[in-house]
Amino acid sequence: MSEQKTGLATSGTAIAGLVLGILAAVSSWMPIINNFSFVLALVGAVLAIVGVVGTLRGKKAGKGLAIAALIVNVVAIAIVLGTQSAMSAAIDEATSGPGVAGVTTQDDADTDADTNDAEKDAPADEASEQASSTDLAVGSTVDLENGLSVTVDSVETGLTNYDGSAVVGVHVTYANNGEETASYNTYDWKGQDADGAQEYSTYYSEATDDLGSGTLAAGGTKSGTLYFEGGTTKALYFGSIVESEPTASWVIE
């Protein structure tokens, strides 16, 4: 009698939902693949809900199985969303250069003690204005959050390339004040003309101290010259080669 009374078939949708949920949960930690895991979990959740409804209506057995399937799929979805959020944050951090920690102008260097006292008493908006890394004067240094400092030391105009075109030389210095190795690269920089066009450095036939590229040990410094086409009015520094907006800029005209 008991078997006849409870002899309903186990819900197939609940079983399918549980299988999809398990597959989604197992693969939810895997980058890229977890995009597919998210779809599996959504489908599995829908099947689990259908299975729960079916068991509540008394058409199928396996209510506990259906609820378990729903829980597994919801957990898988949560893991996928959390993992992708963490990955996105990690990618943003990796592709975005370090932020600006401070700016030292030539005047600041000459009157360091007085400037520090003034900054302590300055309002927040004024302090922010002092820390601006846009349109700096030649000789200014930008300190980055990773301990790297970048300075445009000097500008040499009136250079003529092999083809007669004008060239501007911009001498820069990197100083690694951090605890980890940092990189320097010619492609950290672009020159901007008066019309806003931004271009990487150009070839100069008489160059003797190109910046080049490489790594800088903690406590090390590296200086070199970047050569831009004549008409360049600003030197732009990008904290990362994939950055679309410059971290700092110097007026060099």
Alpha-carbon torsion, ordered 60, 62, 66, 67, to 10 deg? 120
Distance from C-alpha of 52 to C-alpha of 47, rounded to nearest angstrom: 9
Q: What is the pLDDT of residues 209-230, one digit of tens each?
A: 999 999 999 999 999 999 999 9
Q: In what order do the strands lie in the sheet with 189-193?
A: 198-199, 189-193, 232-237, 248-251
What one-character DSSP code corresponds to residue 210?
B
Dihedral angle over CA of 152, 230, 97, 125, nearest 10 = 60
**155, 138 Cβ separation under 8 angstroms:** yes
Q: Is the dihedral of CA 129, 133, 138, 141 positive or negative?
A: positive
Q: What is the pLDDT of residues 229-251, one digit of tens each?
A: 999 999 999 987 777 889 999 99
Q: In what order do the strands lie in the sheet with 166-176?
A: 100-104, 141-144, 148-160, 166-176, 221-229
CATH code reported for the domain at 100-251: 2.60.40.1240
Q: What angle do CA 88, 174, 89 make, to 5 degrees?
A: 5
**pTM exceeds cut of 0.75:** no
For 81-134, how does the pLDDT look when each residue is reduced to its tens digit (9 = 90+)? Answer: 988 888 877 666 666 667 889 999 866 555 554 444 444 444 434 333 345 889
Domain ranges of the chain: 2-95, 100-251
